[in-house]
Structure 1
Amino acid sequence: MLSDARNPSALDPTALYRLRDGAYAADLVLAAVSKFDLFDWLVHHGPVPAVELCEAMGWAARPADVLLTLCAAHGLIERFVEADDLVAVSEFGRWHLSGDTSFDLRPYYGSLAERPGVAEFASVLRTDRPAAWASAAPNGAPGSDWSGRLSDPHFAAGITAAMDARGAFLAPTAAQVLRDLPIRRLLDIGGSSGIYAMALLEDRPDAAATVLERSPVDDAARTLLSSRGAGERIEVVTADMFADPWPHGCDTHLFSQVLHDWDAERVEQLLAASHKALAPGGLLIDLDAHVDGRRTGPLPVAEYSALLMHSTPGKCWSVDELAGIAARVGFVGVEVRPCAGDRSALVFTKAP
């Protein structure tokens, strides 16, 4: 190790996270311009509620929400979620991406309309069905989706290694932000390599943790935890987090960049399962990249959300959206703690 991520002098890899996580964002804007002529349409029909825009364009709600967040973050539209999610083209968007001026860049964007990702996003916007992970197979090919490919041990090992590499900086920095929480028994749901559980236990010598993971990711987690000398304090339980019972008796549950992979129905299912299994007074932590309450940014999170929308049933959720779901299943309150790398930790409580 060249440096400890908890050291203030450690190099911050946030720019590299953003480079990777924003890989699909340009294709989504290209699709909006070249496949749907969004901004010129808004010049002639806006302002309009998002639901009416979706009807006119033939878009599903989830991918449209991600697109609108990205366009708002780039200053191409104005969005007012508090007023029926009203959408209007901005002066910047009108000036450069419509036929209303002599500075129309639509032909320039159209010259890249044949990029594979552009067609994939057009399909996702219309169908709400994720495209193949990393565009590695034709859209809709059997087993090409992210979740389906996790049953392949080779793919699962690669994804686990990827999440572990991302967590090398994010996990210890998040642990410092959460160091005051009274964690004694942690359940890390969908915890991948267990790197976040390890970080949270480092300054808690009397605490223990369980990582809940599906097969074959569970084997990759056991191998990594054992190689790091954490196998005795962190056990790995093999389970499908949607279908199998969760261990009881834990005072803290952790979702570390898990909820962004799932749609609203399954996010609510996971939060309800957490509420059921948590001890009274227990804590639920969601560590993730979250968009703002107005769903207009920040830009790095909006760009990351495009990647997630492309390849999973999820997106980057806003704090308000998750707080609403958590309240419906019985959690009280939400505390927002900013973390490194454009991430934040949301802390919910189960009533005593």
Structure 2
Amino acid sequence: MIKAADVPDPTVLYRIRDGVFAADLLIAAVAEFDLFSWLAVNGPLPSADLRADLGLAERPADVLLTYCAALGLIDRDIEAGDVVGLTGLGRRHLAAGSPFDLRSYFGSLAERPAARELVDVLRTDGQAAWAGAGATAGDQPTDWSGRLGDAAFAERITAAMDARGAFLGPVLADTVADIPVTGLLDVGGSSGVYAAAVLRDRPDARAAVFERAPVDIAARTLLRTRGLADRIEVITGDMFADPLPAGFDVHLYSHVLHDWDGARVAQLLAASFASLPAGGWLIDHDTHVDADKRGPLPVAEYSVLLMHSTPGKCWSVGELAETAERVGFVDVEHRPAAGDRSVLLARKPE
């Protein structure tokens, strides 16, 4: 098996794809809301006041502020109650009254379809069509979750997630090599590419992918093609409507939690806590925002795509740790992985 260390690092390519909507969010902030001129007059102030005055919904506003902080355009102090203020860069180049004002430069792109979609998301907290497809989706649902019910779309998304995991999976396996695994449940595991990686050096372990139809069909096909069907089964089910299968001492969520809102993230972690045995482990492999919500920039950019097309965002290390501890997990730990990804570990007490 070729290891990730033996191939060129594709992180720059992940960043191009994952950050595709980020520039449009800045265009929307400048051209529609004149965010930085407003902050020059009214800031620093709590983000809740900013949202109220500008008419922004909480989730997309959080993504916007993380992105702007990662760009160095605003200061953000989570510990002080999420107080937001303007930096010199933001004041000099994106606020009214500066001789170096670039607002008209960004405003010239205000008619970009993605920028207009993001204006609506910022105001309503709704989901735009996946990848901005809109009218091209025909009579199919345009939201990401709804389109997964279409077999062709589910197959295409499963193939996309599988391709991404070819490099990320082996690094994930190395990152959690010290975690004991007898049975691994890959919740929302798509093709099973991450479960396969974790089992690579664990010949006595088994795994199951828990997926809804019709993604389960694509997963079975890929696992059978790779000769892994005898080690990794596919269990069909809805992770929000059905109990998580028992008999597994490790639950893996890889690129799953970022697709969902806070209430459903908490629901999933609580379901894992209920299903895991004492001493069992939770592994969240994802793109995580720093606890101070000031970056890193590539993750903040990816969060824009998620905010645009799903009910989720890139959750911060602090937010996920708090949720995990609230449902009963202990020993929460954060570890870096590959491709701007990282791992959040948590254990169910003995």
TM-score range normalised by the length of the shorter chain: over 0.9
Tell me how far apart the structure 2 counterparts of residues 244 and 38 of structure 1 sit (CA, whole Å): 43
CA separation of 1:38 and 1:142: change in aligned 2, threshold 3 A: farther
Tell me how far apart the structure 1 counterparts of residues 274 and 241 of structure 2 sit (CA, whole Å): 14
The aligned residue for residue 77 of structure 2 is 80
The aligned residue for residue 116 of structure 2 is 119
Alpha-carbon shift at residue 333 of structure 1 (Å): 2.1
Contact between 1:132 and 1:139, CA under 8 Å: does it hold in 2? no
Contact between 2:187 and 2:210, CA under 8 Å: does it hold in 1? yes
Q: Which of 188, 191, 194 pairs up with 1:193? A: 191
1:226-266: CA deviations, max 9, x gaps?
Answer: 00000011000000000012111111000001000000000
Greater displacement, 208-217 / 327-336: 327-336
Q: Give the partner amino acid of 2:18.
A: D
Q: Give the partner amino acid of 2:152.
A: H
Matched ranges for 1:334-345 at <5 A: 334-345=332-343
Q: Give the partner amino acid of 1:254.
A: L
Q: Which of 86, 89, 92 pairs up with 2:86? A: 89
1:314-352: CA deviations, max 9, x gaps?
Answer: 000011100000111111121111101000011100011
Tell me how far apart the structure 2 counterparts of residues 72 and 4 of structure 1 sit (CA, whole Å): 38
Contact between 2:140 and 2:147, CA under 8 Å: does it hold in 1? no
Tell me how far apart the structure 2 counterparts of residues 96 and 251 of structure 1 sit (CA, whole Å): 53
Q: Which of 176, 183, 191 pairs up with 2:181? A: 183
Q: Secondary structure at the match of 1:130?
A: coil
Q: Secondary structure at the match of 1:237?
A: strand
Q: Which of 286, 289, 313 pairs up with 2:287? A: 289
Tell me how far apart the structure 2 counterparts of residues 228 and 49 of structure 1 sit (CA, whole Å): 52
Q: Which of 317, 320, 326 pairs up with 1:319? A: 317
Tell me how far apart the structure 2 counterparts of residues 168 and 9 of structure 1 sit (CA, whole Å): 12
2:123 matched to 1:133? Answer: no
Tell me how far apart the structure 2 counterparts of residues 333 and 148 of structure 1 sit (CA, whole Å): 36
What stretches of structure 1 of length at least 5 have no aligned partner?
none
Q: Secondary structure at the match of 2:330?
A: strand
Using structure 2 for the length normalisation, give the TM-score: 0.98
Tell me how far apart the structure 2 counterparts of residues 278 and 100 of structure 1 sit (CA, whole Å): 58
Q: Give the partner amino acid of 1:39.
A: F
What stretches of structure 2 of length at least 5 have no aligned partner?
none
Tell me how far apart the structure 2 counterparts of residues 36 and 257 of structure 1 sit (CA, whole Å): 31
Q: Secondary structure at the match of 1:231?
A: coil
The aligned residue for residue 24 of structure 1 is 21
Q: Which of 306, 322, 346 pairs up with 2:344? A: 346
Q: Give the partner amino acid of 1:20.
A: R
Q: Give the partner amino acid of 2:348.
A: K
Q: Secondary structure at the match of 2:271?
A: helix
Tell me how far apart the structure 1 counterparts of residues 224 and 174 of structure 2 sit (CA, whole Å): 24
The aligned residue for residue 10 of structure 1 is 7
Tell me how far apart the structure 2 counterparts of residues 155 and 17 of structure 1 sit (CA, whole Å): 21
The aligned residue for residue 304 of structure 2 is 306
Q: Give the partner amino acid of 1:118.
A: A
Alpha-carbon shift at residue 138 of structure 1 (Å): 5.3
Number of aligned residues = 349
Alpha-carbon shift at residue 142 of structure 1 (Å): 6.7
Q: Secondary structure at the match of 2:134?
A: coil
Contact between 1:177 and 1:339, CA under 8 Å: does it hold in 2? yes
CA separation of 1:306 and 1:139: change in aligned 2, threshold 3 A: farther
Alpha-carbon shift at residue 176 of structure 1 (Å): 1.1
The aligned residue for residue 145 of structure 1 is 143
Q: Which of 39, 43, 55 pairs up with 1:42? A: 39
Contact between 2:92 and 2:100, CA under 8 Å: does it hold in 1? yes
Alpha-carbon shift at residue 4 of structure 1 (Å): 2.0
Q: Give the partner amino acid of 2:297.
A: L
Tell me how far apart the structure 2 counterparts of residues 227 and 84 of structure 1 sit (CA, whole Å): 52
Contact between 1:23 and 1:307, CA under 8 Å: does it hold in 2? yes
Q: Secondary structure at the match of 1:280?
A: coil
Q: Give the partner amino acid of 1:99.
A: A
Contact between 1:120 and 1:139, CA under 8 Å: does it hold in 2? no
Contact between 1:131 and 1:139, CA under 8 Å: does it hold in 2? no
Q: Give the partner amino acid of 2:28.
A: A
The aligned residue for residue 57 of structure 1 is 54
Contact between 2:18 and 2:302, CA under 8 Å: does it hold in 1? yes
Alpha-carbon shift at residue 139 of structure 1 (Å): 12
CA RMSD of aligned residues (A): 1.3
Runs of 4+ in structure 1 over 4 Å off: 138-142
Tell me how far apart the structure 1 counterparts of residues 12 and 225 of structure 2 sit (CA, whole Å): 29
Alpha-carbon shift at residue 296 of structure 1 (Å): 0.5
Tell me how far apart the structure 1 counterparts of residues 244 and 332 of structure 2 sit (CA, whole Å): 23
